[in-house]
Structure 1
Amino acid sequence: MRPFPTGLGATSRRESWPLIRLALPICGAQLAQAGMSVVDIMMTGRQSATDLAAVSVGASLWMPLMLFMTGTLMGLTPIVAQLMGGGRQGGIRANVHQAMWVGLGLGLVSALLLNLAVAPVFHWMAVPPAVAERAADYVGAVAYGMPAVAIFLALRAFSDGMNHTRPALWISLIGLAVNIPSNYVLIYGGEGLVQLLGPATPDWLATLPALGAHGCGIATAIAMWVMTLAMVRYTQKSRAYGSVELWRQPSRPDLKSMAELLYVGVPIGVAIFVEVTLFTLIALFVASLGEIVVAAHQVALNFTSLLFMLPLSLGMALTVRVGNALGSGDARLARLVAWNGILIALLVALFNSAVLWLSADLVVGLYTHNTQVQALTLSLVGLAMLYQVSDSLQVALAGALRGYKDTRVIMFITLLAYWLVGLGGGHLLGRYGLGTWLPPLGVHGYWIGLIAGLTVAALLLGERFRVKARQVARANIDIAP
């Protein structure tokens, strides 16, 4: 048997490009989907401040639900990847059908929640009545797209598991291309079209009402349905999925198969939900520190979140490659593939740190001309450079563990590291300090908490991966002929 470093070198030469080739389209798809949110905010902001506030508040309700669905349905990816790696394509179709049943159920429940629960939530959040009314209209319109986007997410998880990540990129770009003109027509109505087209505007278009935030919600739902129908059509026609015969015959709901998917996927959904709520709660705590602090926090977070898309996509691709190796029955190869991905994640972290170092002044200047906000933002970006390594490593390690279908431990580690260490420690340092040893650090305390939480997550996930990979590799050797 070759020593581990030698095997890792050979694996790196063979596996690095396939991993990157998988990750880049995932990154593009993530950016395209994030672009839809950016477009919504920009276009409603030009309509009125009330519509902008309504979309911002409404998105804080439906986005966590969609991310929970995303995580839960991501449980399909390692299942498909392992079946593919083992040459058992015949078992894929039934699993995908069960994922679509699960997705449809989650989508319908999410739609009901968005229609029935928004009023109490807005009352609890003390949202101004005018904003609450428009936000309810916006969320109610988005609700009609939730079942569709759930089916899209299931099909995307299937396609990713088949090592085909480009379709999600192109279809996400189609969604963005549909969302922009739909937003324009529905948010601004006939008046906006007249400003755009002038006298050439047909009379029936010139009389369309301007729906503001409500129109933005309708446009989002339309984009969701277009993406889903495009994904369905692509998986029907593309020869890349021919061996699966996905649409040959529908499978009835099977509780056992759905339970396996939920066993793997729900912890991923919970982990993503925990991460989202971490940043949401920090934003709420920081809100009381003044508008300069809030602005700097949001600018720094938005800037660094864009860079996070690359390690996030790498982790998602690593799930597929590790799953393929395990499905082929080679646990040692799976371990080497995972370590290679972790090393690439370290290089990505160094790249992101260099980007932050070289471009921070320029990029922050594009966000704001306020010198106070710029100065505070740059200090936060400096802290962000410190957690690039731990952030990239923890997301890569989580991706590798998902390839092993080991997701419950990720959920518990996320709860501990993000909420207890990250949020709890950050709130302690930000609001109270450490008694006579350290005064309250304000927003910097919360960012130090983020550094600590991400570092603890990386260390715990690293230890879990080391133990899990060694156990599986030893079991593979023991049963080998």
Structure 2
Amino acid sequence: MLSLAIPVALSEIGWMTMTVVDVVMVGKLGPSAIGAVGLGNAIYYAPSIFGIGLLLGLDTLVSRSWGAKDFDDCHRSLAQAMYIALAFTPLLMAFILVAGPLFTGHGVDPVVGLLTRQYVGLLNLGTLPLLVYGGFRRYLQGVGRVRPVTFALISANLVNLLGNWIFIYGKFGMPAMGVRGSACSTVFARIYMAAVLVFFAWRHERRRGHSLFAHWPAPDWVRIRALLKLGVPAASQVILEVAAFGTATILSAHLDPVSLATHEIALSCAAYTFMVPLGISAAGAVAVGHAIGAKSSDRARRAGWMALGLAVGFMSLTALIFLLAPRPVLRIYSHDPRVLLLGAHVLLIVAAFQVFDGAQTVATGALRGLGETRTPMLVNLVGYWVIGLPLGAWLCFHLHWGLYGLWSGLTTALILIALLLTWRWSQAAIPQPV
């Protein structure tokens, strides 16, 4: 489990670090720039992550085929995933183009709104590389090749950091582009990540004597339907979760720039720690799939519980950090005294849901390894959209709790989701050896 989980968790940290670097690099431009990058990511990532989520069925199909030692079948699943990515990219880009102006109009600070639209317009150009990266990443994880994913993310952070420095502040003769420069840097980093993973997948296939592109399969509608049958509920679950926090960002934009900046920093902190259990979740899904492919139900059950234990242990430590040292964490992002004061209290709420956040994502991954993606989707729908967000909005605007109210609602949702999904994993039927 650790041999899978550690590289994948490092990859997730590398993924999140790119967003953190973007926020930190524009932080010198002021709260409006921080808010614009946060709001822009909230608008962009829900639809783009839905696209990546459509490919999550690879976790199930590729890992089971690999566990059964049917390596050609792994390749066939990858090819069909790429056809899905190509088909959905134009739809996602069109949706993002419409969403940008829609969520930056009435009630949003005019400066933040303008910067956000500029940021999202450029960020949208990296959608296809992002989906290609997502598909090849799932394939490599499914066949047990996780180190290339870690290398791609860590090195992409260096590309992004350099790009931010050049494009935001105008180095090496480039004009100073501000938040637009941050978006350009992210697009280049995504192109780089996709190219790196395509190379490693090509090398993996060549080593087993099967050229990746010379034997590229034609569209297989049966397999595409199988991927979508798994991927659509999984993508819906992901987007329900991402969109819930994105909606909270949009709601916080109707408070004031300081609250929006504080919300974005707190969200960045929570998302950063979440990357480790998210990586453990992916490792758990793959390990469960490998065990089922190898017809070992006991190993599958053990893998799921082991992944849950690792995630809960890690998130207990991060909760202590947020409880005991909130201000040093906040100073990584901003030295604004208003942000530090408000953020110190919000991070106490973040600490309260750390363990539950880790448990719910790993339970989701373990269930995905079983091929069960519908239950997490329904639980997230009820937890966030029926209970958490309405409660948070009511506390925020009706009772005037402000940012505290929004985060209290999200915390309630996470606790409920974690309890339900952990219970479902404990009751799930694992296929027995035939």
- Structure 2 length as normaliser, TM-score? 0.88
**For residues 144-163 of structure 1, what are the structure 2 equivalents within 5 Å?**
144-163=125-144
Residues 395 and 131 of structure 1: is their aligned pair in 2 closer, same or farther, counting only changes over 3 Å?
closer
Aligned ranges for residues 224-263 of structure 1 at < 5 Å? 224-238=190-204, 242=208, 245-263=211-229
Gaps of 5+ in 1: 1-18, 194-205, 434-439
Match of 1:325 among 258, 278, 291: 291
Which structure 2 residues correspond to residues 47-66 of structure 1 after superposition, within 5 A? Answer: 55-66=37-48
Cα gap change, 1:354 to 1:187, in 2 (>3 Å): closer
Secondary structure of the residue aligned to 1:347 is helix
Counterpart in the other structure of 1:103 = 85
Q: Does 1:177 align with 2:137?
A: no
- Structure 2 letter corresponding to 1:400: A
* Aligned residue identity for 1:333: R
Native 8 Å contact 1:391 1:454 kept in 2? yes
Q: Which residue does 2:322 correspond to in 1?
A: 356
Cα separation, 1, equivalents of 2:124 and 2:430: 43
Match of 1:303 in 2: 269
Q: State how far apart, in whole Å, the 2-side matches of 1:235 and 1:54 are.
A: 36
Does the aligned pair in 2 maintain the 1:89–1:244 contact within 8 Å?
no
CA separation of 1:367 and 1:128: change in aligned 2, threshold 3 A: closer
Determine the structure 2 residue equivalent to 1:40: 22
**Does the CA contact (< 8 Å) of 1:176 and 1:223 recur in 2?**
yes
Q: Does 1:80 align with 2:38?
A: no
1:59 is matched by which residue type in structure 2?
Answer: N
Q: Aligned equivalents of 2:116 and 2:298: distance in 1?
A: 52
Q: 1:234 Cα deviation (Å)?
A: 1.8
Sort the Cα spacing of 1:302 and 1:225 in 2 relative to 1 into closer, same or farther, 3 A.
closer
Change (3 A) 1:315 1:104: same
Separation in structure 1 between the aligned mates of residue 99 and residue 45 of structure 2, nearest angstrom: 13
* Alpha carbons 1:76, 1:158 under 8 Å: kept: yes
CA distance in structure 2 between the partners assigned to 1:378 and 1:164 by the alignment: 40
User: 1:214: Cα distance to partner?
Assistant: 4.3
Measured after TM superposition, the shift of residue 217 of structure 1 is 3.5
In 1, Cα distance between equivalents of 2:405 and 2:112? 32
Residue 446 (str. 1) matches residue 406 (str. 2): yes
Aligned mates of 1:455, 1:423 — CA distance in 2: 13
* Residue 16 of structure 1: aligned partner: none
Letter in 2 for 1:82: R
Q: Deviations over 1:269-321 (max 9, x none)?
A: 22121112212222333445556654544443332332222112111110010
1:418 CA displacement: 1.4
Distance 1:220 1:367 in 2: 19
1:472 aligned partner, one-letter code: I
Residue 430 (structure 2) aligns with? 472
Residue identity in the other structure for 1:171: A
Quote the Cα distance in structure 2 between the aligned partners of 1:333 and 1:358: 38
CA drift of 1:394 comes to: 0.9
Find the aligned partners of 1:375 and 1:129 in 2 and give their Cα distance: 25
Of residues 323, 334, 348 in structure 2, which corresponds to 1:382? 348
Question: Alignment partner of 1:145: what SS?
Answer: helix
Helix, strand or coil at the partner of 1:73:
coil
Secondary structure in structure 2 of the residue aligned to 1:144: helix
RMSD, aligned α-carbons: 3.1
Could you tell me whether the CA contact under 8 Å between 1:40 and 1:216 is conserved in 2?
A: yes
- Is the Cα contact below 8 Å between 1:99 and 1:258 reproduced in 2? yes
Whole-Å separation in 2 of the counterparts to 1:86 and 1:350? 36
Match of 1:459 among 419, 423, 430: 419
How far did 1:212 drift?
4.3
Measured in 1, the distance between the counterparts of 2:12 and 2:318 equals 17
Larger-Rg structure? 1
TM-score normalised by the chain length of structure 1: 0.80
Over the matched positions of the two proteins, sequence identity in percent amounts to 27
- 1:84 Cα deviation (Å)? 0.9
Gaps of 5+ in 2: none
Quote the Cα distance in structure 1 between the aligned partners of 2:303 and 2:166.
48
Amino acid of the structure 1 residue aligned with 2:217: S
Give 2:185's aligned residue. 219
User: Is 1:424 aligned with 2:390?
Assistant: yes
- Give SS of 1:387's match: helix
CA distance in structure 2 between the aligned counterparts of 1:290 and 1:211, rounded to whole angstroms: 25
Report the counterpart of residue 5 of structure 1 in structure 2: none
**Per the alignment, in what secondary structure is the counterpart of residue 430 of structure 2?**
helix
d(CA) in 1 for partners of 2:44, 2:198: 23
The CA deviation at 1:445 is 3.3
Secondary structure of the structure 2 residue equivalent to 1:246: coil
**Alpha-carbon distance change, 369 to 401 in structure 1, aligned in 2, over 3 angstroms:** same
- 1:258 CA displacement: 0.9
Q: In structure 2, what is the Cα distance between the partners aligned to 1:215 and 1:378?
A: 30
Match of 1:200 in 2: none
Q: Is the 8 A contact 2:16 2:272 kept in 1?
A: no
The alignment covers a number of residue pairs equal to 434
Partner Cα separation in structure 2 for residue 377 and residue 286 of structure 1: 13
Letter in 2 for 1:242: R
Matched residue SS, 2:239: helix
